[in-house]
Amino acid sequence: MRYSTIIFDFDGTLADTLEESRRIYNLLAPDYSLREVEAEELPKLRHFSLLELLDHLDIPKRRVPSLLSRGTALMRGNITRLSPIPGIAEILPEMRSRARSFGVLTSNSEPNVDLFLRTHGLRQHFDFISSTSKLTGKAKHLRAIRKTFSLRTGEMLYVGDEIRDIKAAKKAEVPMAAVTWGFNSPESLHAQSPEHVVTSPHELLQLVPHP
């Protein structure tokens, strides 16, 4: 079945936000009595699921909504200086021309994503931006999007970079393309058995052939 609606995650999938996220986390860490994360730690952290990451960093689950909210607000001040993932801006126009609709589903904020896309001349390719304030709330939103567009299972593709994205897609019964250039490592993504594992933006284009 051909994918007609493509939904993208934002952080780590469209935008290179990893180092900025680490900087913001370290800025907030003292307020929550959390230790900072060094750059050298990132390769190890890339193998962790969300729950494993929270456990490794000793972040209580009750603190996550506040950290996410404050972190998102702080990111807005720097969002126009962040870069798209290398190669992603080049393939989006062609990929969009082959699809019926494009969207973004993110744990970041709609204003942040909108401003980033406008800064890089990419906003016109996307029909909507949807945000969830919960790190584990994407499955419900994916189901809602599929219902809104009256799509059958297999007509919508979610593109993301994390284990939690794959789990959300599976829960929503939406095919998943896991990209290896974001937060989670290729090995950890493969272990979750998504429909596709993509190592370059050009490979994404190949998932949506000409009509």
DSSP of 156-183, one letter per residue? EEEEESSHHHHHHHHHHT--EEEETTSS
Q: Stretch 33-44: mean pLDDT, rounded?
A: 96
Phi-psi region of 28 (alpha: psi -120 to 50; beta: other; left: phi over 0): alpha
Within 8 A by CB and 6+ apart from 112, the residues are 10, 72, 75, 76, 79
| The total number of structural domains that make up the chain | 2
Same-domain check for residues 22 and 59: yes
71, 167 in Cβ contact below 8 A? no
Last residue of a domain, one of 80, 111, 129: 80
Same-domain check for residues 57 and 122: no
Task: Give the CATH number of the domain where residue 185 resides.
Answer: 3.40.50.1000
Same-domain check for residues 32 and 106: no
Same-domain check for residues 200 and 99: yes
Same-domain check for residues 98 and 57: no
Same-domain check for residues 127 and 68: no
Q: pTM of this prediction? A: 0.95
Last residue of a domain, one of 52, 80, 108: 80
Per-residue pLDDT, 137? 83
**Which percentage of the chain shows pLDDT scores above 90?**
92
d(CA 188, CA 10): 19
d(CA 115, CA 77): 11
Per-residue pLDDT, 1? 66
d(CA 105, CA 107): 7
Same-domain check for residues 135 and 158: yes
Last residue of a domain, one of 57, 80, 103: 80
Q: Could you give the residue ranges of the DSSP H alpha helices within the chain?
A: 18-28, 42-45, 50-56, 64-76, 88-98, 110-119, 138-148, 163-172, 186-190, 201-206
10, 161 in Cβ contact below 8 A? no
Q: Stretch 86-107: mean pLDDT, rounded?
A: 96
Same-domain check for residues 75 and 42: yes
Closest CA to 13 of 174, 176, 206: 176
Same-domain check for residues 35 and 114: no
> Does some domain include residue 66?
yes
Same-domain check for residues 116 and 131: yes
- Find the domain containing 114 and state its range: 5-16+84-206
Q: Stretch 6-12: mean pLDDT, rounded?
A: 97
Same-domain check for residues 95 and 196: yes
Tokens of 171: 């829960």
Model confidence at 133, in pLDDT bands (50, 70, 90)? confident
> Does some domain include residue 139?
yes
> Does some domain include residue 90?
yes
